């Protein structure tokens, strides 16, 4: 009876976690979280879920429109792929290389500081480091180009990447029915992400944000950079912006809001190609570690919760949690409403007492009470 109760509880928490995650942390194919700001009254609105329209202002988002060009005409905007709290991401055609790419346009208020600058620094280091020719670098997202673009809302950092594929949570929801991936596919992804992490660590770089949402999957390398993929997307869906009485839609706004395109699911019955993305939280092991960890709580290493310093080893714990979810279809720790203390107690129940130096922390009781 005890085992049955434990299994039922675990399955209930797992299903609740899945429903909660699908509502609160949906990822686009470029791993850009769809977030809408609820701060202050909404003076502007539209009929589709989108980035905070209040942030189309000086210092905020750049107003991108379909057919806009960047980098002296090199990149032409075709579709929207997603957005986050500090950027919008667009599918563009690279006229110089005759292929598709992903253009990330960052809010202008970030300027020459913050995580975006760190991401550029890390990605450039990977291309020039002694181990840059590491064969497993093909499983890391590549920075194609970076530049600044001046618009009505300021000067924006722009990053250009390969179109890596579809995120693992999206693949699970749309292909696996929201449960789990086939075992063969899960092990392929586990191997390739492990190789990607080995490449990073060989260059003394910690990823700092490893979990399933930062893994993109395609049928083959550069599959989504082929313009033929446009045949599966259809035309962009444009939606009008509505303003409350007394508010004006100025040049700080785009002409329309573009609904994000849905990339086709890759065929995953044979070989697949995985890429590890999002290096905003990455850091050099001989430098300063990131000040704040943004990885979902259940993937975080113990030292990131119980200590003030960490290094490359934090990625190993996150990798183990990621592989666990890839293979089983559920996270290793059932903590639906994620909080520090309950998670640590789950660690103790599964793995035994935490090290004595962490017990002296005082915030966490070392034993069940």
Q: What is the pLDDT of residues 42-65, one digit of tens each?
A: 799 999 999 999 999 999 999 999
Q: Is a pLDDT exceeding 80 seen at residue 183?
A: yes
In whole angstroms, give the CA distance from residue 158 to residue 105.
5
Structure tokens at 129: 């480091």
- What is the DSSP pairing of strand 44-45 with strand 242-243? antiparallel
Q: 61 CB contacts (<8 Å, ≥6 apart)? A: 51, 55, 87, 88, 105, 107, 153
pTM of the prediction? 0.80
In whole angstroms, give the CA distance from residue 339 to residue 109.
31
Where is 344: in which H helix or E strand? helix 340-351
What's the pLDDT tens digit per position in 12-21? 334 433 433 3
DSSP E strands in the chain: the ranges are: 44-45, 69-70, 75-83, 87-94, 99-106, 143-151, 154-161, 166-167, 205-206, 215-218, 237-239, 242-243, 257-259, 273-276, 283-284
- Is 6 strand, coil or helix? helix
Query: What is the arithmetic mean of pLDDT over 24-36?
Result: 36
Q: What was the pLDDT predicted at 310?
A: 84
What's the pLDDT tens digit per position in 203-214? 999 999 999 999
* Residue 104 marked in a binding site: yes
Q: What was the pLDDT predicted at 179?
A: 78
Q: What was the pLDDT predicted at 275?
A: 95
Q: Is a pLDDT exceeding 80 seen at residue 28?
A: no
Q: What was the pLDDT predicted at 128?
A: 79
Q: Could you tell me the pLDDT band of residue 339, with boundaries at 50, 70 and 90?
A: confident
Percent of the chain with pLDDT over 90: 51
């Amino acid at each position: 009876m005890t085992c049955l109760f434990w299994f039922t509880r675990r399955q209930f928490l797992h299903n609740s976690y899945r429903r909660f995650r699908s509502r609160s942390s949906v990822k686009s194919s470029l791993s850009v979280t769809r977030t809408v700001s609820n701060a202050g009254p909404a003076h502007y609105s539209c009929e589709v879920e989108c980035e905070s329209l209040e942030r189309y202002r000086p210092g905020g988002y750049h107003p991108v429109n379909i057919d806009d060009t960047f980098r002296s005409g090199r990149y032409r905007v075709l579709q929207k792929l997603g957005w986050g709290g500090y950027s919008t991401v667009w599918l563009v055609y690279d006229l110089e290389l005759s292929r598709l790419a992903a253009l990330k346009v960052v809010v202008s208020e970030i300027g020459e500081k913050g995580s975006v600058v760190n991401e550029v620094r890390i990605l450039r280091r990977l291309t020039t480091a002694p181990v840059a020719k590491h064969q497993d670098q093909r499983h890391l997202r590549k920075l194609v180009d970076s530049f600044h673009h001046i618009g009505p809302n300021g000067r924006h950092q722009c990053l250009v990447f390969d179109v890596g594929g579809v995120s693992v949570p999206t693949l699970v929801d749309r292909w696996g029915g929201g449960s789990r991936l086939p075992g063969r596919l899960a092990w392929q992804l586990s191997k390739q992400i492990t190789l990607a992490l080995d490449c990073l660590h060989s260059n003394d770089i910690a990823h700092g944000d490893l979990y399933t949402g930062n893994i993109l999957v395609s049928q083959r390398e550069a599959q989504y950079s082929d313009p033929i993929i446009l045949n599966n997307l259809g035309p962009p869906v444009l939606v009008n912006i509505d303003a409350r009485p007394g508010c004006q839609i100025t040049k700080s706004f785009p002409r329309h809001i573009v609904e994000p395109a849905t990339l086709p699911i890759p065929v995953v019955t044979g070989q697949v190609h995985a890429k590890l993305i999002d290096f905003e939280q990455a850091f050099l092991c001989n430098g300063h570690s990131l000040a704040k960890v943004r990885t979902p709580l259940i993937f975080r290493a113990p030292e990131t919760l119980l200590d003030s310093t960490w290094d490359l080893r934090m990625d190993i714990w996150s990798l183990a949690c990621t592989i666990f979810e890839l293979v089983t279809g559920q996270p290793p720790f059932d903590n639906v409403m994620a909080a520090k203390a309950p998670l640590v107690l789950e660690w103790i129940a599964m793995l035994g007492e935490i090290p004595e130096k962490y017990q002296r922390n005082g915030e966490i009781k070392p034993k069940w009470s």
